[in-house]
Homo-oligomer: A and B are copies of this chain.
Amino acid sequence: MEDFILSVCLAAKKASFELARYDTAQKNKILEHIADELINNSQKILNANLQDLDNAKNKPSHYQDRLRLTQKRIQGIADGVKEIIQLSDPIGEVLEQYKNKDNLNISKVRVPLGVVGIIYEARPNVTVDTAALCIKSGNAIILRGSRDAYHSNSALVQIMKDAIKQAGGNPDIVGYIDCSHEQAIGLMKANQYIDVLVPRGSEKLIQTVVQNSTIPVIETGTGNCHVYIHSAADLDMALNVAVNAKISRPSVCNAAESLLIDESIYQEFLPKICQALVDNGVKIKGCPKTCSVFGECEPATEEDYYTEFLDYIISVKVVQDYNEAIDHINHYGTKHSECIVTQDAKVAREFTNRVDAAAVYINASTRFTDGGVFGLGAELGISTQKLHARGPVGLKELTSYKYVILGDGQVR
């Protein structure tokens, strides 16, 4: 590992022990200062961002849009930090407390993870959002952002470090690493210093981290979500839910990418729902049966069923029954959010029991999978793995626990 990376890792690890001892008031004071200094220094941030935007002027417009900061967006980021101040502090919570048969007093106490590493793309808001969540949950953070956002991130990190210092904290609790892709691979093996690595961004980024990291990873993100319309569905509700799941915000991970419908109802109902989707600008990629009853249909390929379009595109497939729907979802899905629309409680129960996903919906849009909506507060992302955290990763999901055992000389 390069020296400059090692020194950030060492400093963060050291600072993490200090941060773990800050009480809630100290952590909130740091966050208050960060929120205030972001606003006070917004011109500095905007100037730095202009440099990045200038360098990225040949990139696609959606890329530039994600990279762009405005006064309003900076205000939004600062407001996000203030929201995190309002959330309750998970650290120190006693999860269990009991006396065992040896008369030992055993407590299971919530503690920070230690150092959280974030590897992300050219979205400068992630720099502050993730740092604030980590600080509140008592974790030091090491940020490795895209080089395309270098000036913006440097400005944001410097402002955060100054604010932490002003608040009496150790500025090393936020570390930033500007490095090449090859050097980032080295960072992914710094098990001694980083307790968990969270990739934030595209499927490609996530897979690079999963494939290369020896540090435990929380995999977040990809949502190839399905809406399945069962034969016993309330069809008005089904249309409403499916259209909402697809079009209310197609670029996010909890948007629907695929529609499944029972064979017994497709001939009459599928043309209606496809028309409603097309009327909202959605392109249909259908199975042969779908294309046979709806004209504006492009044949779906095997690849399409695996695809998270993140766009106004949906794959549509007619299935024999709920068994085929469940098998299809477990095969093609990404374990994110899956929905059945039905009035049959027994079928609904089979679906929720058998579908392997973080969030399984009966008669509601997949779009609700979100830390805020679920009552967890702000989130770092949606975990699609089963280890440690599943679904929204909020403050509690950024913690571990330790056993504290009080005895009076017991030996075994």
- Chain A contributes a number of interface residues (CB within 8 A of B) equal to 67
Which stretch (A37-45, A48-56, A98-106, A161-169) binds chain B?
A: A98-106
Interface status of A6 (Cβ within 8 A of chain B): no
**Residues of B with C-beta under 8 A to A98:** 375
Whether A385 and B216, one on each chain, are in contact in the complex, defined by CB atoms closer than 8 angstroms, is yes
Given contacts A244-B411, A368-B412, contact A405 B362 (CB under 8 A): yes
A196 CB to closest chain B CB (Å) equals 6
Contact pick for A357, options B196, B364, B391, B402, CB 8 Å: B402
Closest B-chain residue to A189, C-beta based? Answer: B211
Contact present for B17 and A356 (CB under 8 Å): yes
Task: State whether A363 touches B17 (Cβ < 8 A).
Answer: no
Chain B residues closer than 8 Å to A363, beta-carbon distance? 406-410
A404 at the B interface (CB under 8 A): yes
Contact present for A409 and B240 (CB under 8 Å): yes
Decide if A234 is an interface residue (CB 8 Å cutoff).
yes
With a cutoff of 8 Å between Cβ atoms, the chain B residues found around residue A405 in the complex are 359-362, 364, 368
Rounded to whole Å, the gap between the CB of A144 and the closest CB of chain B is 19
Digit string of A110-130 for contact with B (CB within 8 Å is 1, else 0)?
A: 000110000000000000000
Residues of B within 8 A of A272 (CB): none
A366 CB to nearest chain B CB (Å): 9
Task: Scan residues 18-62 of chain A and give those whose CB is less than 8 A from a CB of chain B.
Answer: 20-21
Q: Which residues of B contact A113 (CB under 8 A)?
A: 386-387
Cα A196 to Cα B385 with chains together (Å): 10
The answer for the CA separation of A240 and B388 in the assembled complex, in Å, is 38
CB of A373 within 8 A of chain B? yes
Chain B residues with Cβ below 8 Å from A359 are 402-405
Distance in angstroms between the alpha carbons of A409 and B353 in the assembled complex:
20
How far is it, in angstroms, between the C-alpha of A330 and the C-alpha of B101 when the chains are bound?
30
Contact between chains at A386 and B196 (CB < 8 Å): yes
Q: What are the residues of chain B within 8 A of A264 when measuring CB–CB?
A: none
A241 at the interface (CB under 8 A from B): yes
Which A residues between 305 and 336 are near B, CB-CB below 8 angstroms?
330
Contacts of A101 in B (CB 8 A): 373, 375
Chain B residue at minimal CB-CB distance from A254: B412
332-378 of chain A: CB within 8 A of chain B: 348, 352-354, 356-365, 367-369, 373-375
Known: A367-B411, A368-B104. A360 touches B248 (CB 8 A): no
A375 neighbours in B (Cβ, 8 Å) = 98, 100-101, 106
The answer to whether A374 and B100 have CB atoms under 8 Å apart is: yes
Collect the chain B residues with CB atoms within 8 Å of residue A400's CB.
386-387, 390
Chain B residue numbers with a CB within 8 Å of A218 are: 387
B390 touches A401 (CB 8 A): yes
- The answer to whether A402 touches B390 (Cβ under 8 A) is yes
18 A-B residue pairs with Cβ-Cβ distance under 8 Å, sorted by A, are A113-B387, A114-B386, A196-B386, A216-B216, A216-B385, A241-B411, A244-B411, A348-B406, A356-B402, A359-B405, A360-B402, A360-B405, A361-B406, A362-B406, A364-B405, A368-B410, A368-B412, A387-B387
* A interface list, Cβ under 8 A from B: 17, 20-21, 98, 100-102, 104, 106, 113-114, 191, 195-196, 210-211, 214, 216-218, 234, 237, 240-241, 244-245, 248, 330, 348, 352-354, 356-365, 367-369, 373-375, 385-388, 390-391, 400-412
Please name 11 further chain A to chain B contacts, defined as beta carbons within 8 Å, in addition to the given A245-B411, A368-B405, sorted by A numbering: A17-B356, A102-B373, A104-B364, A114-B386, A195-B385, A196-B387, A237-B408, A348-B406, A352-B404, A363-B410, A369-B403
Report, nearest first, the 9 A-B pairs whose CB atoms are least far apart: A364-B407, A244-B411, A386-B400, A388-B388, A367-B412, A237-B409, A216-B387, A364-B410, A359-B403
